[in-house]
Amino acid sequence: RPRSGAEIREAFLAFYEARGHRRMASASLVPDDPTVLLTIAGMLPFKPVFLGQAPPPAPRATSSQKCIRTNDIENVGRTARHHTFFEMLGNFSFGDYFKEEAIAWAWELTTEVFGLDPAHLVVSVFREDDEAAALWRDAVGVDPKRIIRMDEADNFWASGPTGPCGPCSEIYYDFHPERGDDGIDLEDDSRFIEFYNLVFMQYNRDAAGTLTPLARRSIDTGMGLERMAQILQQVPNNYETDLIYPLVEAAAALAGVDYRALDSRAQTSLKVIGDHSRAITQLIADGVTASNLGRGYVLRRLLRRVVRHGRLLGIDRPFLAAMGEAAIELMAAAHPQLPERRTVILAELVREEARFLDTLERGEKLLAEVLAARPERIGGDAAFELYDTYGFPLELTQEIAEEHGLTVDLDGFEAAMERQRQRAKAAAVSIDLTLQGAIEQVAGALEPTDFRGYEALDQAACVL
Ligand code: ATP
Ligand code: MG
Ligand code: MG
Ligand code: MG
């Protein structure tokens, strides 16, 4: 029975390979798709196939896809199961097999390969999907009390307002079956964890919202590698699995603390550092550099959160290179491009950390002054100054504000940002980009400021 993260990944891929799926390498975190910032699911590289815009690589495929979900940033360390970077194991049918096989195999894999006891499993189906409910009950033999019907919000997938879509069915692990089958609430994460989602693409939705059955029905699934590791390693959260815990320990060693002896707040800081260290290392390896735009901003935001949580733990010297080294070492076997790009990764971490440290202390001082005045909320101008002069991502200011029970005046922030944009635009209009040093000219033409590090250049690049 697989136990380590590496064994779980291999067991999943081998299981589907033995069932006629082509094993595909993970695609980049930077998608080949202008409509999305980052790869958020295993199906993303296959989206053109599902939309009928590209031929399938094979009738069936399986992969372990690197993913980043920024919508889960706030959940990191607060829930036991959410990461920014994680791997999604998937099996896909491109107009080949459908619901019956997908359900039967998911169950076989879960109970026979991963060895989970059916008494610990619960499945969800879309409210109207009688077919899936019947398959779980009759073909697989799941107790009807443990087949939960869910609404569209949770159990219906669509890639957009029109196009292929269909119901989903999820498998949850139940940590406490002794609590009984009555009134099961799958949202209760002290009891349940979702680990496998099966999407049955069976309709096309037109502009009027009408669903018509697809001639070629498809399957898209996702299993969180770290979640299966949590379950099989019998640890209380994803961060304590072998896929991340070495990074938690590395951060704890740098801070001179013992994870097990800490309160939950400090443990959360270590979890954030462990989680984000994987994400930033992988992002840089896939060609992202820190900036104030798009995915560059995601990288910057994650990286600055690592630095800040390090400081909360008492780490007062640069430490991102050490975390980067540890992350590369931890993930090298599964992700050989990490050691290959080691120099680039470490250089970017060091450079961006230095940029931030330069202004962080002064920014923290400003923020402390603002907080000392006991405001009702943090003003937009202060938040903008922190962003613009001190490189505090807005979300970081919000997070610190929240720790003090405050909110940030977002409209005021936006207004200050807009004023800055107008000034930059006015300065940029007459610049000929083909001239040498054009960027420097634009930067020079921006309002004189105290030292802004490289932010001014990013701002200028953003306007251009
Ligand atoms: P949740 O409800 O727990 O947020 P989800 O429904 O958003 O999960 P899906 O979009 O269905 O997740 O993704 C498929 C699978 O990927 C999930 O069943 C889970 O195992 C895994 N997964 C999703 N989001 C994360 C995350 N942020 N960190 C780790 N694993 C994740
Ligand atoms: Mg989610
Ligand atoms: Mg869910
Ligand atoms: Mg889901």
Decide whether any atom of ligand 1 lies within 6 Å of the 66 Cβ: no
How remote is the CA of residue 186 from the centroid of ligand 3, in Å? 9
Q: Closest Cα to atom 11, ligand 1: which residue?
A: 197
pLDDT for the residue numbered 432: 43
Q: How far is the CA of 138 from the centre of ligand 3 (A)?
A: 25
Please check whether residue 442 is in contact with residue 431, taking contact to mean a CB–CB distance below 8 angstroms.
Answer: yes
Q: How close is the Cα of 199 to the center of ligand 4, in Å?
A: 9
pLDDT band at 424 (very low <50, low <70, confident <90, very high): confident
Which residues are 126's β-sheet partners?
150
Name which residue leads in pLDDT, 395 or 138: 138
pLDDT > 50? residue 195: yes
Establish whether residue 278 lines the binding site of ligand 1, counting it when its CB lies within 6 angstroms of any ligand atom. Answer: no
**From the CB of 12, is ligand 1 less than 6 Å away?**
no
- pLDDT tens, residue by residue, 275-296: 999 999 999 999 999 998 999 9
Which pLDDT belongs to residue 170? 98
Give the pLDDT band of residue 460 (cuts 50, 70, 90): very low
Give the alpha-carbon dihedral of 308, 314, 319, 324, to 10 degrees.
Answer: -70
Backbone angles phi, psi at 60, to 5 degrees: -135, 140
The protein residue with its alpha carbon nearest to ligand 1, atom 8, reads 194
Among the listed residues 243, 273, 222, the one whose alpha carbon sits nearest the alpha carbon of residue 335: 243
Distance 187 CA to ligand 2 centre (A): 11
Of 29, 81, 187, 195, the one to substitute when testing ligand 1's pocket (max ligand atoms within 8 A of C-beta) is: 81
Q: What is the ipTM of this complex?
A: 0.99
| Residue 428 banded pLDDT, cuts 50, 70, 90 | low
Q: Which ligand is nearest to the CA of 224?
A: 1
Atom index in ligand 1 nearest the CA of residue 195 equals 20
5 lines ligand 1 (CB under 6 A): no
* Pocket probe mutation, ligand 1, options 83, 89, 227, max atoms within 8 Å of Cβ: 227
> Rounded to the nearest whole angstrom, what is the distance from the C-alpha of residue 62 to the centroid of ligand 2?
21
- What is the pTM (predicted TM-score) of this model? 0.88
Query: Looking at the predicted structure, is the pLDDT value of residue 365 above 70?
Result: yes
pLDDT above 70 (res 230): yes
Between the CA of 244 and the centroid of ligand 3 the distance, in Å, is: 22
The number of the ligand nearest the C-alpha atom of 8 reads 1
- pLDDT tens-digit map of 33-75: 888 899 999 999 999 999 888 999 999 999 999 999 999 999 9
pLDDT for 390 equals 87
**Ligand 1 midpoint to CA 224 (Å):** 6
Would you state the pLDDT for residue 339? 98
Average model confidence (pLDDT) for the chain? 91
Ligand lying closest to the C-alpha of residue 194: 1
CA-proximal residue: ligand 1, atom 1 (nearest) = 194
Q: Whose CA is nearest to atom 31 of ligand 1?
A: 224
- Any ligand 1 atom below 6 A from CB of 275: no
Say if residue 436's pLDDT is above 80.
Answer: no
Q: Is the pLDDT of residue 461 over 60?
A: no
Ligand 1 atom 5 nearest Cα: 194
Write down the pLDDT at residue 429.
52
* Confidence grade of residue 146 (pLDDT, cut at 50, 70, 90): very high
pLDDT value of position 248:
98
Give the mean model confidence (pLDDT) for residues 435-454: 49
- Nearest atom in ligand 1 to the alpha carbon of residue 227 is 20
**Cα 94 to averaged position of ligand 3 atoms, centre (Å):** 23
Q: pLDDT value at position 430?
A: 46
Mutational test site, ligand 1, from 40, 85, 86, max ligand atoms within 8 Å of CB: 86
